[in-house]
Amino acid sequence: MRKGDSVLLLSGGVDSAVCLALELKADRRVVPLFFNYGQPQFESELIAFNGLVNHYGLLDEIRTWNTPNLGHSGSFDYPMRNVIFLAYAVNLAATLGIKRVVSGIRESGYADTTSLFVDVFAGMARNLSDGKINLEFPIFWLDKKNVIARGKSLELPFNLTHSCFRGNEPCGECATCKEIKEEVSILEA
Ligand SMILES: [Zn+2]
């Protein structure tokens, strides 16, 4: 079994991109994992994913998984999608003999982004694998401002990322778009 490798869920958004930069900074070999699950921002996410893995020289390591379209309520909120994504990441890690699964989930109000969820899921994966597979959520307690500051200090190419959930063009109006625009411009000022 390899040591120092990780499977990393990489949507192409700022959060997962910062996790990627953190893993590489720690000198780990990273297997970036992308999901196609029917999300409206699929094309932009894929472009961001490819841009980031190309930037970091990881094109030979990538994995993508096309799921059936996931169900969503009204405004493209996909209930419990992290259950599915993490389960697949754990399966991939187990087949590749990799012990570390990294996700850029941050604490928020959705059922699958709470500390209860990440604790329960990480505990399940660890117990069922006899302690072999560990889930890590390195930015779980950071707010967006601190995530972006972290990205800046790691020289993350923000222009390659895509974080808007509304569609393929950053709408510039949703909370995520506004926050990123604001924080990046403050840091660049
Ligand atoms: Zn937006």
Q: Ligand 1 centroid to 176 CA: how many Å?
A: 6
Q: What is the pTM of this model?
A: 0.93
Rounded Cα distance between 90 and 168, Å, is: 28
- We find that the CATH architecture of domain 5-188 is 3-Layer(aba) Sandwich (3.40)
Per-residue pLDDT of the chain (189 residues; tens, 9 = 90+): 445 899 999 999 999 999 999 999 999 999 999 999 999 999 999 999 999 999 999 999 999 999 999 999 877 789 999 999 999 999 999 999 999 999 999 999 899 999 999 999 999 999 999 999 999 999 999 999 999 999 999 999 999 999 888 888 888 888 888 888 888 777 776
Structure tokens at 11: 């949507």
Q: How far apart are CA 56 and CA 25, in angstroms?
A: 11
Domain boundaries, the chain: 5-188
Q: Which residue has the tokens 């601190």?
A: 146
Q: 18 alpha carbon to ligand 1 midpoint, in Å? A: 19
Q: Report CA(166)–ligand 1 centroid distance (Å).
A: 6
